[in-house]
Amino acid sequence: MAGSGTAHLRPVDEVLLQVTDLVVEFPAGKGRTVKAVSGISFDIAAGETLGLVGESGCGKSTTGRALLQLPKPTSGSVVLDGEDLVSLDAESMRKRRTQLQMIFQDPISSLNPRRTIGDVSSTRSASTPAPLATSGRTSSPAVSVSASRSPERS
Task: Choose the weakest-confidence range: 96-105, 109-118, 142-151.
Answer: 142-151
pLDDT digits (tens, 9 = 90+) for 35-82: 999 999 998 888 887 777 778 888 888 998 999 999 999 999 999 888
Residue 98 DSSP code: G
**Amino acid 137: pLDDT:** 36
- How far is 111 from 2, CA to CA, in rounded Å? 26
In the structure, what pLDDT confidence band is assigned to residue 152 with cuts at 50, 70 and 90? low
What is the gyration radius of the CA atoms in the chain, in angstroms? 15
Predicted confidence (pLDDT) per residue in 90-104, tens digit = 999 988 888 776 666
For 74, phi then psi, to 5°, come to: -65, -40
The answer, yes or no, to whether residue 84 has pLDDT greater than 60, is yes
Q: What is the length of the chain?
A: 154
Nearest to 101 by CA among 17, 28, 26: 17
As a CATH number, domain 2-153 is 3.40.50
**Under 8 Å between Cβ of 129 and 98:** yes
**Least confident interval from 16-30, 39-53, 94-108, 139-153:** 139-153
Closest CA to 134 of 96, 107, 99, 98: 107
Task: Centre a 10 Å sphere on the Cβ of residue 76 and count the other Cβ atoms it contains.
Answer: 17
Half-sphere exposure (Cβ direction) of 109: Cα atoms closer than 13 Å = 4
Q: Domain residues of the chain, as ranges?
A: 2-153
